[in-house]
Structure 1
Amino acid sequence: MAEYKLSDINRRAQSDAPEFIAECEARYHAQVVHVADVIAENSRQKPIVLINGPSSSGKTTTNDRLFRALAAHGIHAETISMDDYYRTIGTYEVPWDEENEVADLESPNCMDLPLLGQHLKQLVAGEEILVPRFDFASRTFIPDTRALRLDEDEVVLIEGIHAFNPLIVGGLSQSAVCVYLSIASSVEDEDGMHLEPYMLRFLRRAMRDSLFRNSPVEDTLRQWNSVRRGERLYIDPNREHAALSVDTFLPYELCILMEKLDASLRRQGEGLRRAGLAPVEQALGRVADIDYAAYIPEDSVLHEFIG
């Protein structure tokens, strides 16, 4: 795991922002290219690519970057979103997280994983499947909306927090490449303040939720312990399936996220401490601003969170 000094991040943000941003982006890009190289080398034997990772690890953007990187190898990638396998609200009992007294929205029981597993096996066998769609506005599962069959020179990319679930991976061990995405970095300063990977992911999620999901920081905090519980129960036990991994952290992002969230976070001291995020409160006012708008690439993973 990479460990960054806050003093170094601040110095580079203030002295050479364009080069700092470019170096962070290049490090992430090199990892994606390596993963694409391995997928391409094994594409005939393993046409299924399962992309897993905890909340706000950058799965959506990395999935798109892999799509582009594989095209450079002459390999066309189809995509399937695990979100389209959510079950219609009201047709099942949403599991309850008694530990945190909220709905367990991370549970695999909210999805039709057996159907997805069956679909992937059919694709490996050369059969056509009918991919469903989930309408988030009405929270409704809509079956059979898109026909899909893999040609010999194609792979399919599937991303989601349950991509390594035994219901999916079981029976696909010889046909799938498993890729794990996460923030595998931390940030510390000389006073002992230490931002662990899950804290850095919280900043991403809080920013994304407030911008794109009409969910203020206090709502993200209220659900955060349940999100973490879901990661421990549903993601961590299956990480052993991963053959490849990508650390999606861009050190310069801390400067952007802390500045944008500063006012909201200052009102949430108790909530931050209750969610195990006290170091985030300690970091307020310690992170330098950065002039970034002109230097972030159009396909940066950070756009997934800041727009």
Structure 2
Amino acid sequence: MAVQNRIRKVRKRDRSLVAFDQGRIIHAILRAVQSVGGFSLDHVPGVNERLFSYGDDEHIAEFLSDVVVATLNRDQRHWIANFPPTVEEIQDTVVHVLRSFGFVTVADAYECWRWGKYWVRAGAITMDEFVGNGYPVPLHHETLAWNREHGCDTVAGLNEIVRLGHLPELVAAATERYERSVDEAATAVLARAATGDLRVIWVSGPSSSGKTTTTVKLLQRLRKEGLEFLMLNLDDYFWPLVEHPTDWLNDRNFETPEALDIQTINRHLRALLDGQAIQKPIYSFKEGRRVGTKLVRLKEGQLLLLDCLHGLYPPLTTGIAREAMFWLYIEAANMLYEGDGTSERLTQFTDVRLLRRMLRDVKHRNHPPLQTLLHWHYVRSGELFSIIPLMGLADHVVNGGMPFDLPVLKPFFLPDGIWPKPEEVAPYDTFLDARIRYRRIGSLLGQVAGLTLWEAEDHALIPGDHLVREFIGGTTLQIPHNE
């Protein structure tokens, strides 16, 4: 489909003007598409199936690039040679078009690549630390090989394990693998601490990857070796609610790093490391504002330990020497193919994290599941900007994804659990991101052989100190608070 193009130039990041080349848009889209295995991964009946009549991935990419051009043409300023669209405006439009046609996975890959290259240009990461579309190949290959060895690399295989009563063996094996990874993290921290340079440990990673439990387990190991810590609750640095405007759903974006007072956090961290006392804010989430302060000082020999979504975000650590910090990254990757694996379509890691967060939000934040579903686009936007593209900075990665997540989570959602009813979701049918995730996850849950609630709550099957208990409840771990 040919479109009229009135755009002749593009403003580069150094403000110079170059000729507009639609082919670059097609290439960028195709690169994202190929990195996730094709547009077919995002085929959604009733949403974008007609686009597949255009033919192969290249022809679909060409059509989408035409829509990008048509969208850019709507701003008449772009018709003037000296006021063309910027590179960032074009990239924003590509993301908008991809998501508007339901290509969520492709859009995620495009965004992660986009922001990763942004951080490379900013000098925050090197090309060796660049993670491309956000799927770390070595970790995923290792996870897939482990799952194949244990017969849980497909939904069909996982269902067979559940039906034959072999889930306890899988839980034990997966737990041993996870605990060994935490052991390795502790060993790496101790090695760094022995140099005398280590001052700060960051535990970072995307939402509901298992940071809290992993932080507690790491603390247990390190304290046994004589290390002492000061933990700061960075949630106390949220801006007041009046500075978080609501959107059309009456929702607020707390998932961006700038929802926190980054400059004050950085200033306080540097002051603590210099031996000074700080007046740390105390934030009331009930009132939506800071209600006081608390005097905090780092004692002699103590290390700072910070559990923070955005711990890798460069402005947080400006002025702090790299050798003084250890970054632990918690991923939640589990390589699980749909059905019997013949389709070669992987289930989405983000869907499991969304289920985990829904359950946690219900249990601990009194948020209805539908609210979490409608909010998830903010979660993804934040982590694709300042979390996942920066994972290459991590000194150690722990995989908090479990091969038995879905069977354990299912009884809390279906058939009589907290999964939103179709009539609850119906008023938001035009909210395409939520609609696609709702249909995809609902279909996946329907294919999984779940446990009973009694089985999921049984500590003989899933120990009380297990990472999954952070979400399904029943944890026996003591969660530390701010000191």
- TM more than 0.5: yes
Contact 1:54 1:235 in 2 (8 A): yes
2:419 counterpart (265, 270, 284): 265
The structure that is helix-richer by fraction is 2
Q: Deviations over 1:215-257 (max 9, x none)?
A: 2221111111121112112323432321211110122221121
Higher RCO structure (Cα 8 Å, ≥6 apart): 1
The structure that is strand-richer by fraction is 1
Q: Deviations over 1:80-139 (max 9, x none)?
A: 12212112222x3x26779x9953221222211112112222232233333332221112
2:329 — aligned with what? 180
Pairs within 5 Å for 1:84-123: 84-90=236-242, 92=243, 94=244, 102-123=251-272
- Residue identity matched to 2:171: I
Task: Give distance in 1, aligned partners of 2:210 and 2:245.
Answer: 26
- Greater CA drift, 111-120 or 2-11: 2-11
Residues matched between the structures, number: 303
Q: Secondary structure at the match of 1:215?
A: coil
- Residue identity matched to 2:190: A
Aligned Cα root-mean-square deviation (Å): 2.5
In the alignment, does 2:372 pair up with 1:223? Answer: no
- Residue identity matched to 1:214: N
Shift of 1:45: 1.0
Task: Give distance in 1, aligned partners of 2:420 and 2:281.
Answer: 42
1:34 — aligned with what? 184
Shift of 1:54: 1.1
Alignment gaps of 5+ in structure 2? 1-139, 145-152, 474-483
Task: Give distance in 1, aligned partners of 2:308 and 2:245.
Answer: 19
Task: Give distance in 1, aligned partners of 2:271 and 2:162.
Answer: 50
Task: Give distance in 1, aligned partners of 2:402 and 2:450.
Answer: 15
Contact 1:32 1:62 in 2 (8 A): yes
Contact 1:70 1:77 in 2 (8 A): no
Structure of greater Rg: 2
Contact 2:370 2:420 in 1 (8 A): no
In the alignment, does 2:462 pair up with 1:296? Answer: yes
Q: Secondary structure at the match of 2:240?
A: coil
Alignment gaps of 5+ in structure 1? none
Q: Deviations over 1:242-277 (max 9, x none)?
A: 121111012222112122112443724776974342
Q: Deviations over 1:285-306 (max 9, x none)?
A: 3222333412222221112111
Q: Secondary structure at the match of 1:246?
A: strand
Contact 1:124 1:175 in 2 (8 A): no
Task: Give distance in 1, aligned partners of 2:280 and 2:223.
Answer: 23
- Greater CA drift, 77-86 or 12-21: 12-21
Q: Percent sequence identity over matched residues? A: 26
Task: Give distance in 1, aligned partners of 2:157 and 2:224.
Answer: 35
In the alignment, does 2:168 pair up with 1:18? Answer: yes
2:156 — aligned with what? 7
Task: Give distance in 1, aligned partners of 2:432 and 2:183.
Answer: 39
Q: Deviations over 1:168-200 (max 9, x none)?
A: 122221211111112122322226363211111
What is the TM-score normalised by the length of structure 2?
Answer: 0.58
Contact 2:352 2:405 in 1 (8 A): no
1:157 — aligned with what? 305
Task: Give distance in 2, aligned partners of 1:274 and 1:75.
Answer: 45
Go from structure 1 to structure 2 and tell me whether the alpha carbon gap of 1:296 and 1:144 turns closer, same or farther (over 3 Å shift).
same
Task: Give distance in 1, aligned partners of 2:405 and 2:271.
Answer: 41
Q: Secondary structure at the match of 1:29?
A: helix
Q: Secondary structure at the match of 2:231?
A: strand
1:169 — aligned with what? 317
Q: Secondary structure at the match of 2:374?
A: helix
Contact 1:13 1:252 in 2 (8 A): no
